[in-house]
A and B are shown apart, each in its own frame.
Chain A
Amino acid sequence: MSYQQARWIEPLIFELSKPGRVGSSLPGKPRGSINVPKELLREKLELPELSEPEVVRHYTRLSQMNYGVDSGFYPLGSCTMKYNPKVCEELAALETASCIHPHQAEETVQGALELMYRLERFLAEIAGVARISLQPSAGAHGEFIAMLLTRAYHKSERDGKRDRVIVPDSAHGTNPASAAMAGYEVVTVPSNARGRVDLEALKAAVSERTAALMLTNPNTLGLFENQIIDIAEVIHDAGGLLFYDGANLNGILGKTRPGDMGFDIVHFNLHKTFATPHGGGGPGAGPIGVQKELEKFLPVPVVEYDRKRKRYYFDYNRPHSIGKIKGFYGNFGVLVKAYAYLLLMGAEGLNEVTEAAVLNANYIMHKLLGVKGYELKFDASGPCKHEVVFSTESLKLETGVTARDVAKRLLDHGIHAPTYYFPPIVPEALMIEPTETEPREELDHFVDVLNTIAQEARSNPEKLRSAPTATAIGKLDEAKASREPILSWGTHRKSAKK
Chain B
Amino acid sequence: MKKLGLIVNPIAGMGGRVGLKGTNGADIIAKALELSAEPVSPARAVETLRSLKRAGVKFELITYPAEMGAAEASEAGLEARVIGHITSGKTTAEDTKRAAKEMLEQGVDLILLAGGDGTMSDMIEAIGTQVPILGIPTGVKMHSAAFANTPQTAGEVVARFLSEELPLREAEVMDIDEEAYRENRLVAKLKGYVRVPYEPVMMQATKEGSTGYELADQKAIARWVVESMEKGRTYALGPGTTTRAVAEELGIYDSTLLGVDLIENYKLLARDTNEQYILEVLGKKPMTIIVSPIGGQGFILGRGNQQFSPAIAKRVGKENVWVLVTPHKLRATSTLKVDTGDTELDREFRGYMRVITGYRQTCMAKVV
**Could you tell me which A residues sit within 8 Å of B by CB distance?**
78, 164, 169, 172-174, 176-177, 180, 184-190, 198, 200-202, 204-205, 397, 399-400, 419-424, 427, 461-462, 465, 478-479
Given A187-B364, A189-B364, A400-B54 in contact, is the A205-B354 Cβ separation under 8 Å? yes
Chain A residues near B353 (CB, 8 Å)?
A: 204
Task: Other than A172-B208, A188-B364, A204-B351, give 14 A-B pairs with Cβ distance below 8 A.
Answer: A164-B362, A173-B209, A180-B360, A186-B360, A187-B362, A187-B363, A188-B361, A188-B363, A189-B364, A204-B354, A400-B55, A419-B207, A421-B206, A422-B207
CB nearest neighbor in B for A184: B360
Chain A residues near B94 (CB, 8 Å)?
A: none
Bound form: Cα–Cα A461–B54 in Å: 9
Q: Would you call B362 and A173 a contact (CB within 8 A)? A: no
| Contacts A/B (CB < 8 Å), 11 sampled | A169-B363, A172-B208, A174-B209, A180-B360, A185-B362, A187-B354, A187-B363, A190-B365, A198-B364, A420-B206, A421-B205
Given A201-B364, A204-B352 in contact, is the A188-B206 Cβ separation under 8 Å? no
Bound form: Cα–Cα A101–B102 in Å: 75
Q: In this assembly, does B203 line the interface, its C-beta being within 8 Å of a C-beta of chain A?
A: yes
Q: Would you call A185 and B164 a contact (CB within 8 A)? A: no
Chain B residues near A188 (CB, 8 Å)?
A: 357, 361-364
Q: In this assembly, does B283 line the interface, its C-beta being within 8 Å of a C-beta of chain A?
A: no
Q: In this assembly, does B56 line the interface, its C-beta being within 8 Å of a C-beta of chain A?
A: yes
Chain B residues near A176 (CB, 8 Å)?
A: 361
Q: Would you call A173 and B361 a contact (CB within 8 A)? A: no
Q: Would you call A421 and B204 a contact (CB within 8 A)? A: yes
Which residues of B from 303 to 358 have beta carbons under 8 Å from A?
Answer: 331, 351-354, 357
In the A-B complex, the 8 residue pairs with the smallest Cβ-Cβ separation, listed nearest first, are A204-B352, A400-B54, A173-B209, A188-B363, A173-B208, A422-B207, A185-B360, A201-B364
Q: Would you call B208 and A201 a contact (CB within 8 A)? A: no
Q: In this assembly, does B152 line the interface, its C-beta being within 8 Å of a C-beta of chain A?
A: yes
Residues of A contacting B: mostly? mixed
B160 to chain A, nearest CB (A): 10
CB nearest neighbor in B for A417: B206
CB nearest neighbor in A for B357: A188
Q: In this assembly, does B1 line the interface, its C-beta being within 8 Å of a C-beta of chain A?
A: no
CB nearest neighbor in B for A79: B207
Of the candidates B55, B202, B363, B365, the one whose C-beta lies within 8 Å of that of A421 is B202
Q: In this assembly, does B51 line the interface, its C-beta being within 8 Å of a C-beta of chain A?
A: yes
Chain A residues near B209 (CB, 8 Å)?
A: 173-174, 177
CB nearest neighbor in A for B54: A400
Bound form: Cα–Cα A366–B262 in Å: 58
Chain A residues near B54 (CB, 8 Å)?
A: 399-400, 461
Of the candidates B51, B56, B202, B352, the one whose C-beta lies within 8 Å of that of A462 is B56
A279 to chain B, nearest CB (A): 13
A46 to chain B, nearest CB (A): 34
**Contact mask for chain B residues 147-170; partner A; CB cutoff 8 A; 1 contact, 0 none:** 000001000000000001100000
Q: Would you call A201 and B361 a contact (CB within 8 A)? A: no
Given A187-B363, A188-B357 in contact, is the A419-B206 Cβ separation under 8 Å? yes
Given A205-B354, A399-B54, A465-B56 in contact, is the A424-B204 Cβ separation under 8 Å? yes
Of the candidates B55, B152, B205, B208, the one whose C-beta lies within 8 Å of that of A397 is B152
A180 to chain B, nearest CB (A): 6
B152 to chain A, nearest CB (A): 7
Q: In this assembly, does B366 line the interface, its C-beta being within 8 Å of a C-beta of chain A?
A: yes
A221 to chain B, nearest CB (A): 13
Bound form: Cα–Cα A27–B264 in Å: 76
Max chain A CB contacts within 10 Å: which of B207, B351, B354? B207
Q: Would you call B51 and A400 a contact (CB within 8 A)? A: yes
CB nearest neighbor in A for B165: A479
Q: Would you call A186 and B352 a contact (CB within 8 A)? A: no
Chain B residues near A202 (CB, 8 Å)?
A: 364
Bound form: Cα–Cα A24–B317 in Å: 77
B321 to chain A, nearest CB (A): 15
Chain A residues near B202 (CB, 8 Å)?
A: 421
Q: Would you call B207 and A173 a contact (CB within 8 A)? A: yes
Bound form: Cα–Cα A389–B203 in Å: 14
Q: Would you call A186 and B364 a contact (CB within 8 A)? A: no
Bound form: Cα–Cα A200–B207 in Å: 27
Chain B residues near A172 (CB, 8 Å)?
A: 207-208
A366 to chain B, nearest CB (A): 26
Bound form: Cα–Cα A200–B366 in Å: 10
B318 to chain A, nearest CB (A): 12
Bound form: Cα–Cα A202–B202 in Å: 28
CB nearest neighbor in A for B50: A400
Bound form: Cα–Cα A185–B203 in Å: 24
B156 to chain A, nearest CB (A): 8
Bound form: Cα–Cα A205–B207 in Å: 25
CB nearest neighbor in B for A427: B203
Max chain A CB contacts within 10 Å: which of B55, B351, B362? B362
Q: Would you call B361 and A180 a contact (CB within 8 A)? A: yes
CB nearest neighbor in B for A180: B360
Bound form: Cα–Cα A362–B56 in Å: 36
Bound form: Cα–Cα A269–B124 in Å: 54
Bound form: Cα–Cα A423–B361 in Å: 19
Bound form: Cα–Cα A94–B207 in Å: 36
Bound form: Cα–Cα A186–B357 in Å: 10
Q: Would you call A424 and B208 a contact (CB within 8 A)? A: yes
Chain B residues near A169 (CB, 8 Å)?
A: 363
Bound form: Cα–Cα A184–B362 in Å: 11
Bound form: Cα–Cα A399–B361 in Å: 37
A95 to chain B, nearest CB (A): 38
Given A180-B360, A400-B54 in contact, is the A422-B206 Cβ separation under 8 Å? yes
A212 to chain B, nearest CB (A): 15
Chain A residues near B361 (CB, 8 Å)?
A: 176, 180, 185-186, 188
Chain B residues near A427 (CB, 8 Å)?
A: 203
Chain B residues near A185 (CB, 8 Å)?
A: 360-362
Given A180-B360, A185-B360, A201-B366 in contact, is the A478-B205 Cβ separation under 8 Å? yes
Bound form: Cα–Cα A173–B361 in Å: 13
CB nearest neighbor in A for B359: A180
Bound form: Cα–Cα A490–B54 in Å: 42
B350 to chain A, nearest CB (A): 11
CB nearest neighbor in B for A407: B206
Chain A residues near B363 (CB, 8 Å)?
A: 169, 187-190
Bound form: Cα–Cα A421–B200 in Å: 13
Bound form: Cα–Cα A180–B351 in Å: 26
Chain A residues near B365 (CB, 8 Å)?
A: 190
Q: Would you call A421 and B203 a contact (CB within 8 A)? A: yes
Max chain B CB contacts within 10 Å: which of A78, A180, A185, A419? A185
Bound form: Cα–Cα A87–B294 in Å: 61
Chain B residues near A424 (CB, 8 Å)?
A: 203-204, 208, 331
Bound form: Cα–Cα A432–B236 in Å: 48
Q: Would you call A190 and B164 a contact (CB within 8 A)? A: no
A451 to chain B, nearest CB (A): 21
Chain A residues near B208 (CB, 8 Å)?
A: 172-173, 422, 424
Chain B residues near A180 (CB, 8 Å)?
A: 360-361
Q: Would you call A190 and B205 a contact (CB within 8 A)? A: no
Bound form: Cα–Cα A478–B204 in Å: 13
Chain A residues near B55 (CB, 8 Å)?
A: 400
Bound form: Cα–Cα A176–B353 in Å: 19
Bound form: Cα–Cα A190–B152 in Å: 26
B293 to chain A, nearest CB (A): 16
B366 to chain A, nearest CB (A): 7
Bound form: Cα–Cα A200–B368 in Å: 14
Bound form: Cα–Cα A184–B359 in Å: 10
Which residues of B from 56 to 110 have beta carbons under 8 Å from A?
Answer: 56
Chain A residues near B206 (CB, 8 Å)?
A: 419-422
Q: Would you call B164 and A479 a contact (CB within 8 A)? A: yes
Bound form: Cα–Cα A465–B163 in Å: 13
Chain B residues near A423 (CB, 8 Å)?
A: 207
Bound form: Cα–Cα A204–B54 in Å: 44
